[in-house]
């Protein structure tokens, strides 16, 4: 899965304060920078026609380059805290493909926004907001979670997720983490290289697995995700990806 290099732009509002000057100018101590919120984007809406997207916070475009279908943020981007809506628009146009309603993004908070296709015919795009909680992570082990973003696989039935030969999740369905806080939490794992695979719950048939071993490093958190569709090619190829949380 290709990782997008599109970065979220930062913006700020500068308040101009009038000052009366008596005598000479006096240097002032530099003001501390306000704490930021941090956002990661996963654009997993890859079912054709899959479009690159521009991202807007309220009515302000915040991507310098279009975010390609199948792209995921390589690192969290710092943004001004506050309440704003998020919209994915077709690159170069004004057509909204998916959106997150007005939500609060707190200082020092970490968030993942996921765009994915639903099971409609034709499939349309939706988006969800996940608050990422790292407070329970420790330095002596790695952690992981799993997101399901493949509508064609979901049509076949629930899936189970394996680390090597160990089943770690059962009966997962499309975008189920939107309604289950548990699925958004990071679970402890064993340090080292592992293969993640996804199988149908009904008969254990293999759906997809990571193309190479995923090296889980202690003290790090990983999002494992199923994306693409059966029979798909290019960005729509069925895949199991791994994204390490980075700031």
* Residue closest to 113 by CA, chosen among 169, 172, 63, 188: 63
Q: What is the pTM of this model?
A: 0.85
pLDDT of the residue at 9: 36
Q: Is there a domain that residue 7 lies in?
A: no
pLDDT of residue 29: 66
Residue 21 counted as domain residue: no
Identify whether 10 is part of a domain: no
The pLDDT of residue 49:
87
DSSP 121-156: SS--EEEEEEEE--TT--TTS-EEEEEE--HHHHTT
Question: What is the reported pLDDT for 8?
Answer: 37
Q: Is residue 82 in some structural domain?
A: yes
Residue 60 belongs to a domain: yes
Total domains, the chain: 1
Give, for all 247 residues of the chain, the pLDDT tens digit.
444 434 433 333 222 223 232 333 445 667 777 899 999 999 999 998 889 999 999 999 999 999 999 999 999 999 999 999 999 999 999 999 999 999 999 999 999 999 999 988 777 999 999 999 999 999 999 999 999 999 999 999 999 999 999 999 999 999 999 988 999 999 999 999 999 999 999 999 999 999 999 999 999 999 999 999 999 999 999 999 999 999 8
Q: Can you tell me which residue has the tokens 């908070």?
A: 109
Closest CA to 205 of 240, 158, 168, 241: 158
Angstrom CA distances, 242 to 70, 73, 119, 143, stand at 13, 12, 23, 12
What does the pLDDT read at residue 121? Answer: 74
> Which residue range is the domain that position 45 belongs to?
36-244
Strands 159-163 and 166-172: antiparallel
Residue 120: per-residue pLDDT:
81
Whether 131 is covered by a domain: the verdict is yes
In a domain, 95, yes or no: yes
Residue 20 is predicted with a pLDDT of 30
Question: Is 167 within a domain?
Answer: yes
């Amino acid at each position: 899965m290709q990782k997008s290099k599109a970065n979220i732009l930062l913006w700020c509002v500068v308040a101009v304060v009038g000052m009366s000057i008596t005598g000479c100018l006096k240097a002032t101590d530099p003001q501390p920078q306000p704490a930021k919120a941090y956002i990661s984007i996963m654009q997993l809406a890859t079912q054709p026609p899959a479009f690159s997207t521009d991202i807007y916070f309220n009515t302000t475009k915040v991507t310098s380059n279009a975010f390609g279908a199948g792209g995921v943020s390589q690192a969290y981007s710092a943004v001004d805290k506050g309440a704003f809506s998020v919209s994915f628009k077709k690159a170069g146009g004004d057509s909204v493909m998916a959106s997150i309603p007005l939500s609060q993004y707190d200082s020092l908070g970490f968030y993942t926004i996921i765009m994915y296709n639903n099971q409609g015919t034709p499939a349309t795009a939706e988006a969800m907001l996940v608050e990422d909680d790292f407070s329970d992570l420790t330095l002596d082990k790695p952690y992981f979670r799993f997101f399901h973003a493949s509508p064609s696989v979901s049509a076949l039935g629930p899936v189970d997720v394996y680390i090597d030969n160990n089943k770690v999740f059962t009966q997962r369905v499309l975008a189920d983490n939107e309604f289950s806080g548990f699925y958004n939490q990071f679970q402890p794992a064993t340090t080292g290289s592992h293969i993640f695979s996804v199988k149908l719950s009904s008969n254990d048939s293999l759906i997809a697995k990571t193309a190479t071993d995923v090296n889980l490093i202690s003290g790090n958190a990983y999002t494992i995700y199923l994306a693409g569709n059966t029979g798909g090619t290019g960005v729509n190829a069925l895949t199991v990806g791994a994204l390490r949380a980075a700031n």
